[in-house]
Amino acid sequence: MLSLARSFAGTVPRRVALLLLAVVGIGASSRAAEYFPPSDKDGGWRTLTDAGQIRRKAGMDLDRLERAYTFTQRCSQNGGLLVVRRGYLVFERYFGRASRDVNPDMASTGKAYTSIASGIMLREFRDKIPEGLDTKVFTERFLPEALPLDDPRKADIRLGHLLSMTSGHWGEGGSPSTVVLGKAGGLKGVPGQDIRDLDGSSLRVPLWTHAGAGYSYSSPAPHIASMVLRRVTGMDLKDYIDTRLAKPMGWGPWDYCLHRGDVRMPHANGAGSIAVHATDALRFGYCLLREGRWGGRQLIPADYIVQCRRPSPYNPHTPFSLQFEHNADGHVAGAPRDAFYKSGAGGFGIFIVPSLDLVIYKMGGSNGQYDPTFTDVPQPKTVDTSRDGWTSIPRTPFHEGSLGGDDGLRRVLEMVGAAVRD
Protein backbone atom coordinates (compact mmCIF):
# COMPACT_ATOMS: atom_id res chain seq x y z
CA MET A 1 0.00 0.00 0.00
CA LEU A 2 2.78 2.45 0.87
CA SER A 3 4.64 1.79 -2.38
CA LEU A 4 1.38 2.21 -4.29
CA ALA A 5 0.77 5.56 -2.59
CA ARG A 6 4.29 6.70 -3.49
CA SER A 7 3.72 5.77 -7.11
CA PHE A 8 0.93 8.35 -7.26
CA ALA A 9 3.30 11.12 -6.24
CA GLY A 10 4.30 11.84 -9.83
CA THR A 11 0.75 11.80 -11.20
CA VAL A 12 -1.28 13.85 -8.70
CA PRO A 13 -0.74 17.27 -7.11
CA ARG A 14 1.92 17.23 -4.40
CA ARG A 15 -0.49 18.12 -1.59
CA VAL A 16 -2.81 15.23 -2.53
CA ALA A 17 0.11 12.81 -2.70
CA LEU A 18 1.36 13.90 0.73
CA LEU A 19 -2.12 13.48 2.19
CA LEU A 20 -2.40 10.00 0.71
CA LEU A 21 1.00 9.07 2.10
CA ALA A 22 -0.01 10.38 5.51
CA VAL A 23 -3.29 8.44 5.58
CA VAL A 24 -1.64 5.19 4.45
CA GLY A 25 1.21 5.74 6.87
CA ILE A 26 -1.18 6.26 9.77
CA GLY A 27 -3.03 3.07 8.85
CA ALA A 28 0.20 1.08 8.57
CA SER A 29 1.47 2.47 11.86
CA SER A 30 -1.84 1.65 13.56
CA ARG A 31 -1.73 -1.93 12.31
CA ALA A 32 1.91 -2.31 13.36
CA ALA A 33 1.09 -1.05 16.84
CA GLU A 34 -2.10 -3.09 17.22
CA TYR A 35 -2.05 -4.93 20.51
CA PHE A 36 -3.25 -8.41 21.41
CA PRO A 37 -2.65 -9.70 24.95
CA PRO A 38 -0.65 -12.85 25.61
CA SER A 39 -2.24 -15.57 27.71
CA ASP A 40 -2.42 -14.97 31.45
CA LYS A 41 0.29 -17.54 32.04
CA ASP A 42 2.58 -15.57 29.72
CA GLY A 43 1.99 -12.20 31.33
CA GLY A 44 -1.58 -11.39 30.38
CA TRP A 45 -3.14 -8.03 29.64
CA ARG A 46 -1.14 -4.84 29.83
CA THR A 47 -2.64 -2.92 32.73
CA LEU A 48 -2.97 0.62 34.03
CA THR A 49 -3.74 1.31 37.67
CA ASP A 50 -2.70 4.93 38.23
CA ALA A 51 -5.48 7.46 37.64
CA GLY A 52 -3.16 9.74 35.66
CA GLN A 53 -1.98 6.95 33.38
CA ILE A 54 -5.54 5.73 32.89
CA ARG A 55 -6.52 9.25 31.84
CA ARG A 56 -3.53 9.84 29.54
CA LYS A 57 -3.17 6.43 27.88
CA ALA A 58 -6.72 5.07 27.97
CA GLY A 59 -8.69 8.31 28.06
CA MET A 60 -10.80 7.21 31.02
CA ASP A 61 -11.74 8.65 34.40
CA LEU A 62 -10.91 6.25 37.23
CA ASP A 63 -13.32 7.92 39.63
CA ARG A 64 -16.23 7.26 37.25
CA LEU A 65 -15.14 3.64 36.86
CA GLU A 66 -15.16 3.31 40.65
CA ARG A 67 -18.74 4.57 40.67
CA ALA A 68 -19.71 2.01 38.05
CA TYR A 69 -18.15 -0.71 40.21
CA THR A 70 -20.03 0.52 43.30
CA PHE A 71 -23.25 0.22 41.33
CA THR A 72 -22.22 -3.25 40.12
CA GLN A 73 -21.89 -4.38 43.74
CA ARG A 74 -25.56 -3.51 44.25
CA CYS A 75 -26.70 -5.70 41.35
CA SER A 76 -25.81 -9.27 42.35
CA GLN A 77 -24.62 -11.47 45.19
CA ASN A 78 -21.23 -12.06 43.56
CA GLY A 79 -19.59 -10.35 40.64
CA GLY A 80 -17.01 -8.02 39.24
CA LEU A 81 -16.25 -5.38 36.66
CA LEU A 82 -13.47 -5.48 34.08
CA VAL A 83 -12.83 -2.75 31.49
CA VAL A 84 -10.45 -2.68 28.53
CA ARG A 85 -9.87 0.45 26.46
CA ARG A 86 -7.28 0.99 23.75
CA GLY A 87 -5.94 -2.44 24.60
CA TYR A 88 -5.28 -1.55 28.26
CA LEU A 89 -6.95 -3.36 31.14
CA VAL A 90 -7.84 -0.26 33.14
CA PHE A 91 -10.19 -1.72 35.73
CA GLU A 92 -10.50 -5.16 37.33
CA ARG A 93 -12.34 -5.62 40.61
CA TYR A 94 -14.32 -8.52 42.13
CA PHE A 95 -16.58 -9.16 45.09
CA GLY A 96 -17.99 -12.25 46.78
CA ARG A 97 -17.13 -15.58 45.20
CA ALA A 98 -16.02 -14.01 41.93
CA SER A 99 -12.34 -13.74 41.04
CA ARG A 100 -10.11 -13.88 37.97
CA ASP A 101 -9.60 -17.65 38.06
CA VAL A 102 -13.08 -18.97 38.84
CA ASN A 103 -15.27 -20.58 36.18
CA PRO A 104 -18.85 -19.58 37.01
CA ASP A 105 -21.92 -20.53 35.05
CA MET A 106 -22.23 -17.49 32.77
CA ALA A 107 -25.77 -18.56 31.83
CA SER A 108 -27.09 -17.09 28.59
CA THR A 109 -23.92 -15.10 27.98
CA GLY A 110 -22.82 -18.39 26.43
CA LYS A 111 -25.31 -17.88 23.60
CA ALA A 112 -22.93 -15.27 22.17
CA TYR A 113 -20.22 -17.93 21.90
CA THR A 114 -22.65 -20.25 20.09
CA SER A 115 -23.40 -17.52 17.59
CA ILE A 116 -19.75 -16.68 16.93
CA ALA A 117 -18.90 -20.37 16.54
CA SER A 118 -21.71 -20.58 13.99
CA GLY A 119 -20.25 -17.64 12.10
CA ILE A 120 -16.86 -19.36 11.94
CA MET A 121 -18.56 -22.56 10.77
CA LEU A 122 -20.33 -20.75 7.94
CA ARG A 123 -17.02 -19.51 6.58
CA GLU A 124 -14.99 -22.66 7.18
CA PHE A 125 -17.59 -25.13 5.89
CA ARG A 126 -19.39 -22.98 3.32
CA ASP A 127 -19.26 -25.86 0.83
CA LYS A 128 -21.39 -27.91 3.26
CA ILE A 129 -23.81 -25.11 4.09
CA PRO A 130 -23.67 -22.78 1.05
CA GLU A 131 -26.85 -20.86 1.85
CA GLY A 132 -25.36 -19.70 5.15
CA LEU A 133 -27.81 -18.09 7.57
CA ASP A 134 -30.57 -18.58 5.01
CA THR A 135 -30.28 -22.37 5.26
CA LYS A 136 -33.46 -24.23 6.18
CA VAL A 137 -32.16 -26.57 8.86
CA PHE A 138 -35.05 -28.90 9.76
CA THR A 139 -34.01 -31.35 7.05
CA GLU A 140 -32.47 -34.80 6.75
CA ARG A 141 -29.11 -33.21 6.03
CA PHE A 142 -28.86 -31.02 9.13
CA LEU A 143 -31.34 -32.31 11.74
CA PRO A 144 -32.31 -35.89 10.87
CA GLU A 145 -33.25 -36.48 14.51
CA ALA A 146 -36.06 -33.93 14.11
CA LEU A 147 -37.84 -35.97 11.45
CA PRO A 148 -40.67 -36.56 10.99
CA LEU A 149 -41.56 -32.98 11.90
CA ASP A 150 -44.09 -32.56 14.69
CA ASP A 151 -45.13 -29.24 13.14
CA PRO A 152 -44.93 -28.63 9.37
CA ARG A 153 -44.06 -24.96 10.01
CA LYS A 154 -40.63 -26.04 11.28
CA ALA A 155 -39.65 -26.79 7.69
CA ASP A 156 -39.39 -23.03 7.09
CA ILE A 157 -37.02 -22.30 9.99
CA ARG A 158 -33.66 -20.98 8.82
CA LEU A 159 -30.41 -20.84 10.76
CA GLY A 160 -30.72 -17.05 10.95
CA HIS A 161 -34.11 -17.42 12.65
CA LEU A 162 -32.65 -19.72 15.31
CA LEU A 163 -29.84 -17.27 16.05
CA SER A 164 -32.18 -14.25 16.18
CA MET A 165 -34.90 -15.81 18.37
CA THR A 166 -37.49 -15.58 15.59
CA SER A 167 -37.75 -19.29 14.79
CA GLY A 168 -41.23 -19.30 16.31
CA HIS A 169 -40.22 -21.54 19.21
CA TRP A 170 -42.15 -20.95 22.41
CA GLY A 171 -40.37 -18.59 24.81
CA GLU A 172 -39.18 -19.78 28.18
CA GLY A 173 -40.20 -19.13 31.76
CA GLY A 174 -43.53 -19.18 33.51
CA SER A 175 -44.97 -16.37 31.38
CA PRO A 176 -42.84 -15.90 28.27
CA SER A 177 -43.17 -12.72 26.25
CA THR A 178 -43.46 -12.13 22.52
CA VAL A 179 -42.76 -9.12 20.32
CA VAL A 180 -44.24 -8.62 16.86
CA LEU A 181 -42.96 -5.51 15.09
CA GLY A 182 -42.36 -3.80 18.41
CA LYS A 183 -45.69 -4.76 19.99
CA ALA A 184 -45.34 -6.93 23.09
CA GLY A 185 -47.56 -9.85 23.98
CA GLY A 186 -47.55 -12.88 26.23
CA LEU A 187 -47.74 -16.67 26.20
CA LYS A 188 -48.49 -19.31 28.76
CA GLY A 189 -45.53 -21.37 29.91
CA VAL A 190 -44.75 -24.70 28.25
CA PRO A 191 -42.10 -27.34 29.01
CA GLY A 192 -38.68 -26.21 27.82
CA GLN A 193 -35.27 -27.85 27.84
CA ASP A 194 -34.60 -30.95 29.93
CA ILE A 195 -30.91 -31.45 30.73
CA ARG A 196 -31.45 -35.23 30.73
CA ASP A 197 -32.42 -35.02 27.07
CA LEU A 198 -31.15 -31.66 25.89
CA ASP A 199 -31.28 -32.37 22.16
CA GLY A 200 -34.64 -34.12 22.13
CA SER A 201 -36.38 -31.70 24.49
CA SER A 202 -35.14 -28.70 22.49
CA LEU A 203 -36.47 -30.16 19.25
CA ARG A 204 -39.85 -30.88 20.85
CA VAL A 205 -40.50 -27.32 22.08
CA PRO A 206 -43.63 -26.19 20.18
CA LEU A 207 -43.97 -23.19 17.91
CA TRP A 208 -46.16 -20.23 18.85
CA THR A 209 -45.95 -18.75 15.33
CA HIS A 210 -44.27 -19.39 12.01
CA ALA A 211 -40.60 -18.55 11.38
CA GLY A 212 -39.86 -14.85 11.18
CA ALA A 213 -43.32 -13.73 12.33
CA GLY A 214 -42.30 -12.68 15.85
CA TYR A 215 -39.62 -12.68 18.55
CA SER A 216 -39.67 -14.76 21.72
CA TYR A 217 -36.57 -15.49 23.80
CA SER A 218 -36.32 -19.27 23.54
CA SER A 219 -33.15 -21.06 24.65
CA PRO A 220 -33.90 -24.21 22.63
CA ALA A 221 -33.35 -22.19 19.43
CA PRO A 222 -29.59 -21.54 19.82
CA HIS A 223 -29.10 -25.07 21.14
CA ILE A 224 -30.66 -26.38 17.94
CA ALA A 225 -28.20 -24.14 16.06
CA SER A 226 -25.37 -25.87 17.98
CA MET A 227 -26.78 -29.23 16.86
CA VAL A 228 -26.52 -28.02 13.25
CA LEU A 229 -22.92 -26.99 13.93
CA ARG A 230 -22.22 -30.43 15.37
CA ARG A 231 -23.59 -32.04 12.20
CA VAL A 232 -21.71 -29.74 9.79
CA THR A 233 -18.32 -29.69 11.56
CA GLY A 234 -18.33 -33.17 13.05
CA MET A 235 -17.32 -31.60 16.38
CA ASP A 236 -19.11 -30.75 19.60
CA LEU A 237 -19.60 -27.03 20.21
CA LYS A 238 -17.11 -27.08 23.09
CA ASP A 239 -14.38 -28.70 20.99
CA TYR A 240 -15.04 -26.36 18.06
CA ILE A 241 -14.75 -23.28 20.29
CA ASP A 242 -11.63 -24.71 21.90
CA THR A 243 -9.77 -25.14 18.62
CA ARG A 244 -11.06 -22.05 16.78
CA LEU A 245 -11.12 -19.51 19.63
CA ALA A 246 -9.75 -20.66 23.00
CA LYS A 247 -6.39 -22.03 21.90
CA PRO A 248 -5.55 -19.25 19.40
CA MET A 249 -6.39 -16.57 22.00
CA GLY A 250 -4.58 -18.36 24.84
CA TRP A 251 -7.50 -18.90 27.20
CA GLY A 252 -6.81 -20.51 30.53
CA PRO A 253 -8.78 -23.56 31.78
CA TRP A 254 -12.42 -23.35 30.72
CA ASP A 255 -15.41 -25.62 30.19
CA TYR A 256 -19.16 -25.81 29.88
CA CYS A 257 -21.23 -26.56 32.96
CA LEU A 258 -21.86 -30.15 31.93
CA HIS A 259 -22.36 -31.63 35.40
CA ARG A 260 -25.78 -31.10 36.98
CA GLY A 261 -26.25 -33.26 40.03
CA ASP A 262 -26.23 -36.88 38.87
CA VAL A 263 -26.37 -35.85 35.20
CA ARG A 264 -23.43 -35.28 32.91
CA MET A 265 -24.65 -33.76 29.68
CA PRO A 266 -23.07 -35.40 26.62
CA HIS A 267 -22.93 -32.15 24.65
CA ALA A 268 -22.33 -28.49 25.38
CA ASN A 269 -25.52 -26.51 25.74
CA GLY A 270 -25.72 -24.05 22.86
CA ALA A 271 -28.18 -22.08 24.99
CA GLY A 272 -25.47 -21.08 27.48
CA SER A 273 -23.63 -22.07 30.64
CA ILE A 274 -20.13 -21.57 29.28
CA ALA A 275 -17.58 -21.06 32.08
CA VAL A 276 -14.43 -19.08 31.24
CA HIS A 277 -12.01 -16.97 33.24
CA ALA A 278 -12.88 -13.28 33.46
CA THR A 279 -9.83 -12.10 31.53
CA ASP A 280 -10.64 -14.63 28.79
CA ALA A 281 -14.19 -13.33 28.49
CA LEU A 282 -12.45 -10.01 27.80
CA ARG A 283 -10.31 -11.69 25.12
CA PHE A 284 -13.48 -12.95 23.42
CA GLY A 285 -14.99 -9.45 23.45
CA TYR A 286 -11.70 -7.88 22.35
CA CYS A 287 -11.53 -10.20 19.33
CA LEU A 288 -15.01 -9.00 18.34
CA LEU A 289 -13.87 -5.40 18.86
CA ARG A 290 -10.90 -6.07 16.54
CA GLU A 291 -13.28 -7.32 13.83
CA GLY A 292 -12.43 -10.96 14.44
CA ARG A 293 -8.66 -10.63 14.26
CA TRP A 294 -6.21 -12.04 16.77
CA GLY A 295 -2.59 -11.28 16.08
CA GLY A 296 -2.04 -12.09 12.44
CA ARG A 297 -5.07 -14.39 12.14
CA GLN A 298 -8.66 -13.74 11.17
CA LEU A 299 -10.40 -16.02 13.67
CA ILE A 300 -13.96 -14.77 13.08
CA PRO A 301 -15.40 -13.49 9.79
CA ALA A 302 -15.57 -9.70 10.04
CA ASP A 303 -18.81 -9.56 8.05
CA TYR A 304 -20.49 -11.89 10.53
CA ILE A 305 -19.58 -9.57 13.42
CA VAL A 306 -21.09 -6.67 11.47
CA GLN A 307 -24.35 -8.63 11.31
CA CYS A 308 -24.24 -9.17 15.09
CA ARG A 309 -24.22 -5.45 15.78
CA ARG A 310 -26.88 -4.27 13.31
CA PRO A 311 -30.61 -4.83 12.81
CA SER A 312 -31.15 -8.26 11.30
CA PRO A 313 -33.40 -9.15 8.37
CA TYR A 314 -34.30 -12.24 10.41
CA ASN A 315 -35.61 -10.09 13.28
CA PRO A 316 -37.48 -6.90 12.40
CA HIS A 317 -39.26 -7.10 15.75
CA THR A 318 -36.63 -6.25 18.40
CA PRO A 319 -33.02 -4.98 18.59
CA PHE A 320 -31.60 -8.51 18.83
CA SER A 321 -29.32 -9.87 16.09
CA LEU A 322 -27.58 -13.26 16.03
CA GLN A 323 -27.66 -13.65 19.84
CA PHE A 324 -26.52 -10.09 20.57
CA GLU A 325 -28.62 -7.16 21.69
CA HIS A 326 -27.63 -4.12 19.66
CA ASN A 327 -28.22 -0.44 20.32
CA ALA A 328 -28.80 0.72 16.75
CA ASP A 329 -32.17 2.20 17.77
CA GLY A 330 -30.69 4.00 20.77
CA HIS A 331 -32.86 2.22 23.36
CA VAL A 332 -29.90 2.34 25.77
CA ALA A 333 -29.96 6.11 25.76
CA GLY A 334 -26.60 6.69 27.44
CA ALA A 335 -24.62 4.34 25.17
CA PRO A 336 -23.32 4.75 21.60
CA ARG A 337 -25.52 3.28 18.92
CA ASP A 338 -22.83 0.84 17.77
CA ALA A 339 -22.71 -0.89 21.18
CA PHE A 340 -23.69 -4.56 21.21
CA TYR A 341 -23.72 -7.08 24.02
CA LYS A 342 -25.01 -10.35 25.44
CA SER A 343 -26.37 -10.74 28.94
CA GLY A 344 -26.89 -13.80 31.09
CA ALA A 345 -28.98 -14.68 34.14
CA GLY A 346 -27.54 -13.45 37.40
CA GLY A 347 -26.17 -10.24 35.92
CA PHE A 348 -23.42 -11.46 33.60
CA GLY A 349 -22.74 -9.47 30.45
CA ILE A 350 -20.10 -8.88 27.81
CA PHE A 351 -20.23 -5.50 26.00
CA ILE A 352 -18.41 -4.28 22.88
CA VAL A 353 -18.42 -0.60 21.84
CA PRO A 354 -16.36 -0.13 18.65
CA SER A 355 -16.67 3.67 18.50
CA LEU A 356 -15.12 3.92 21.97
CA ASP A 357 -12.55 1.12 21.45
CA LEU A 358 -14.08 -0.39 24.58
CA VAL A 359 -14.84 -3.85 26.01
CA ILE A 360 -16.63 -4.39 29.32
CA TYR A 361 -17.19 -7.63 31.18
CA LYS A 362 -19.65 -7.52 34.06
CA MET A 363 -19.71 -10.59 36.28
CA GLY A 364 -22.65 -11.46 38.47
CA GLY A 365 -24.25 -14.60 39.75
CA SER A 366 -25.74 -16.22 42.81
CA ASN A 367 -23.75 -18.67 44.93
CA GLY A 368 -25.25 -21.51 42.92
CA GLN A 369 -23.64 -20.23 39.73
CA TYR A 370 -20.22 -20.65 41.37
CA ASP A 371 -20.73 -24.32 42.24
CA PRO A 372 -17.29 -25.88 41.56
CA THR A 373 -18.81 -29.25 40.60
CA PHE A 374 -20.40 -27.89 37.40
CA THR A 375 -17.20 -28.26 35.38
CA ASP A 376 -14.06 -30.40 35.28
CA VAL A 377 -11.92 -27.31 35.90
CA PRO A 378 -10.18 -27.09 39.31
CA GLN A 379 -11.35 -23.99 41.16
CA PRO A 380 -9.51 -21.79 43.69
CA LYS A 381 -9.44 -23.32 47.16
CA THR A 382 -9.89 -19.95 48.87
CA VAL A 383 -13.39 -18.55 48.44
CA ASP A 384 -14.68 -15.20 49.70
CA THR A 385 -17.99 -15.97 51.41
CA SER A 386 -18.55 -12.47 52.78
CA ARG A 387 -21.51 -11.90 50.45
CA ASP A 388 -23.30 -15.18 51.18
CA GLY A 389 -25.98 -13.39 53.18
CA TRP A 390 -26.59 -10.69 50.56
CA THR A 391 -30.12 -10.02 49.31
CA SER A 392 -31.25 -7.80 46.46
CA ILE A 393 -33.28 -4.62 46.77
CA PRO A 394 -36.91 -5.72 46.33
CA ARG A 395 -38.96 -4.44 43.44
CA THR A 396 -41.76 -2.01 44.26
CA PRO A 397 -44.35 -0.25 42.10
CA PHE A 398 -42.16 2.84 42.41
CA HIS A 399 -39.00 1.01 41.40
CA GLU A 400 -39.69 -0.68 38.10
CA GLY A 401 -36.02 -0.79 37.15
CA SER A 402 -34.57 -3.60 39.23
CA LEU A 403 -30.87 -3.20 39.99
CA GLY A 404 -30.21 -6.73 38.75
CA GLY A 405 -30.65 -8.36 35.38
CA ASP A 406 -30.75 -6.33 32.18
CA ASP A 407 -31.49 -3.05 33.96
CA GLY A 408 -28.27 -3.30 35.93
CA LEU A 409 -26.34 -4.34 32.82
CA ARG A 410 -27.55 -1.47 30.70
CA ARG A 411 -26.84 1.00 33.46
CA VAL A 412 -23.29 -0.32 33.82
CA LEU A 413 -22.82 0.11 30.07
CA GLU A 414 -23.94 3.72 30.38
CA MET A 415 -21.80 4.43 33.44
CA VAL A 416 -18.61 2.95 32.00
CA GLY A 417 -19.24 4.76 28.73
CA ALA A 418 -19.54 8.00 30.69
CA ALA A 419 -16.04 7.36 32.09
CA VAL A 420 -14.55 7.90 28.62
CA ARG A 421 -12.99 11.37 28.77
CA ASP A 422 -11.45 11.88 25.30
Rg of the chain over all Cα atoms, to the nearest angstrom:
22
Question: What are φ and ψ of residue 361, in 5° steps?
Answer: -125, 115
Q: pLDDT (tens digit, 9 = 90+) per residue, 53-95?
A: 999 999 999 999 999 999 999 999 999 999 999 999 999 999 9
pLDDT attached to residue 345: 92
pLDDT attached to residue 397: 40
95 and 79 in contact (C-beta within 8 Å)?
yes
- Whole-model pTM: value is 0.90
Separation of alpha carbons 305 and 291, rounded Å: 7
pLDDT attached to residue 406: 56
Name the residue among 288, 228, 225, 238 with its Cα closest to residue 266. Answer: 238
pLDDT attached to residue 335: 96
Name the residue among 280, 284, 237, 235 with its Cα closest to residue 256. Answer: 237
Name the residue among 122, 342, 344 with its Cα closest to residue 228. Answer: 122
Separation of alpha carbons 70 and 157, rounded Å: 44
Separation of alpha carbons 180 and 5, rounded Å: 51
Max CA distance (Å), the chain: 75
Helix/strand/coil for 42: helix
Per-residue pLDDT of the chain (422 residues; tens, 9 = 90+): 333 333 333 444 444 444 443 443 334 334 436 899 999 999 999 999 999 999 999 999 999 999 999 999 999 999 999 999 999 999 999 999 999 999 999 999 999 999 999 999 999 999 999 999 999 999 999 999 999 999 999 999 999 999 999 999 999 888 899 999 999 998 888 888 888 899 999 999 999 999 999 999 999 999 999 999 999 999 999 999 999 999 999 999 999 999 988 889 999 999 999 999 999 999 999 999 999 999 999 999 999 999 999 999 999 999 999 999 999 999 999 999 999 999 999 999 999 999 999 999 999 999 999 999 999 999 998 999 999 999 876 544 433 333 334 558 999 999 999 999 98
